[in-house]
Chains A and B, each alone.
Chain A
Amino acid sequence: MSTEILVEVEHVARDYGDRRVLRDIHFSLRRGEVLGFLGPNGAGKTTTMQILSGNLAPSEGRVRIAGHDLLDEPRAAKSALGYLAETPPLYRDLTVDEYLDYCAALNRLPRREQKPAREAAKRKCGLEEAGGRLIANLSKGYQQRVGIAQAIIHLPSLVILDEPTVGLDPIQIREIRALIRDLGREHSVILSTHVLPEVQTVCDRVLIVHEGELVLDETIERLDRHMKTASITVAFHTPPATGEIERLPGVTAVQPERDGRLRILHEADANPTAAIVQLASERGWGLYEIRPGRLSLEQLFVELTTEREPSAGDDGRGPAP
């Protein structure tokens, strides 16, 4: 991964009529980075992907791809991107080869480069055998692969995939994920999804959007560390009053869980594990389990997307504050 900035998104907003569905989305993407774009259904993921791919114009703000503004220099910006929409844009009455040749021509590849480009894209997506088949007759997994092949045929620096694994079976999902990881070696990838493990296995960085706003922008590494160290789970045979643990330095809260375990939240830089073990043995609490309470991405996601107050000046749908 280089430090070169490939995509800059500056304060993008989008209205549909009076309704503002995206507000102030801003982030940047380095060359070779795989970015996960996460959010519940209707959060504005697809709208963002459509704006990034030039299918929708932003109402405010701007998008620069490889240094070219998407609205001012659409041709230069669009040659640097490949886009797979939620519904793959496939012509069902063409064969895979015919279709990919057409896509190569649309992306202005010179004629003599079209065939090698088509073969390379097919190889990457595991479509070598499918070249002569009609797209309409392919299974959904293969159609998805054709969709991805279409997005990478001109070797764009940026590949945008909108929910590429929806509706696939578990084996196909694994294959597509492996493919996306491979793509990450040569291209920058923006991957929109609501499947959380996908982000954890594939992405370098994750953005979470909720109701059209960016609520998190963090690298997976830091997120992992953060999630691992923010809490510990302990179990005692004779649990003490929660107050005794709360008094320990660094501990911010103690939450009893349903199965009798205690979840201890603490500050990231002050881990009270040693102190708890020591106290437990001194006072005979009968400690039989202690482990770092991994807050899963899922929990984080749920926290970020459900516990937020609806912001004032919303689109008028939210309850009055």
Chain B
Amino acid sequence: MIFTIAWREFRSLFLSPLAWAILAVLQLILGILFFYILIVVYGPNQDKYALMEGWPGATLIILPNFLTLAAFLLLLVVPLLTMRLISEERRAKTLTLLFSAPISMTEIVLGKYLGVMLFLLLVLALVALMPLSLLLGGRIDLGVVFAGLFGLALTLASFAAVGLFISTLTQHPTVAAIASFGALLCFWLLDVSVQGTGLVAYLSLFNHYQPFLQGVFDTADAAYHLLLIVTFLTLSVRRLDADRLGIA
């Protein structure tokens, strides 16, 4: 049942030009950024790096920069994908179809979430193509690449969970988009104010993304993302239930 809803959600994204436009623009901008990092930042200093002692390798120069930018760009894009999830159905009054069918709120929420995640995995695959294209001309540290991509996948999953929850709060997709964008940015920026110490810094998404980019897989970081996802999905289910109970 979850997959039925997920598949329908995934396909409906492609029924409007939005998904295509997002994929195209994202790929263009990421391509330019990748090119910039490769040719402008890394290229001219290539020889200098090679003489350095303890030279970490090209992958650790290029990849963290690239994936940090990619994550930031996707922070802007994910709200556009999640904004319609529930709010649009609420506005078009199609939510009754799901509510009067023999399916639970949890299945509805998980189905919607999975639908968006399918799309984000597609985005992730396109992002992955760029670092992997370096294989054409040389060797890269695949361990670092996959740790980084795994970190990006977790981060995107967290973004989507927050976006989904905010979409259950309103019936205006644009409001959902702006609010999700704001919320994600706050999650991201929590760190800046306190310079990386204390509880507030611990809550920052950024701090749980960076280690992956250095090729470090820390279960604590993965757990942070999973907790965030579970929390927001649970809140979404609760929110839809409250809808039915009429608690405004």
Chain A interface residues toward B at CB < 8 A: 14-17, 50, 53-57, 59, 74-76, 78-79, 81-83, 85, 87, 89-94, 102-103, 105-108, 150
Contacts and interface: CB of A to CB of B under 8 A. Distances in A.
A108 B94 contact: no
A89 to B, nearest CB: 4
B102 A89 contact: no
B95 interface: yes
A85 B1 contact: no
B97 A106 contact: yes
A25 B97 CA distance: 24
For the complex of A and B, 4 pairs with smallest distance between CB atoms = A89-B97, A83-B100, A89-B94, A78-B102
A179 B16 CA distance: 34
A15 to B, nearest CB: 8
Given A57-B244, A89-B93, A105 B4 contact: yes
B46 interface: no
A97 to B, nearest CB: 14
Interface residues of B, number: 24
Nearest to A83: B100
Nearest to A17: B248
Nearest to B16: A93
Given A87-B93, A93-B16, A105-B4, A53 B246 contact: no
Interface in B93-148: 93-104
A85 B93 contact: yes
8 contacts: A15-B246, A53-B100, A57-B245, A78-B102, A79-B102, A91-B12, A106-B1, A108-B102
A306 to B, nearest CB: 29
Contacts of A75: 102-104
B93 A106 contact: no
Given A75-B104, A89-B92, 13 more contacts: A53-B96, A53-B100, A54-B100, A54-B244, A55-B100, A57-B246, A82-B100, A83-B100, A85-B96, A89-B96, A91-B94, A102-B4, A103-B97
Contacts of B5: 106
Given A85-B93, A89-B94, A108-B1, A78 B100 contact: yes
A250 B33 CA distance: 95
Interface in B72-97: 92-97
B101 A106 contact: yes
B15 interface: yes
Given A75-B104, A102-B8, A56 B246 contact: yes
B244 A56 contact: yes
A74 B102 contact: yes
A55 B94 contact: no
Nearest to A47: B246
Contacts of B101: 78, 103, 106-107
Given A91-B12, A93-B16, A54 B98 contact: no
A117 to B, nearest CB: 14
Contacts of B98: 106
Contact of A107 (B8, B95, B102, B244): B102
B103 A106 contact: yes
Contacts of A103: 97, 101
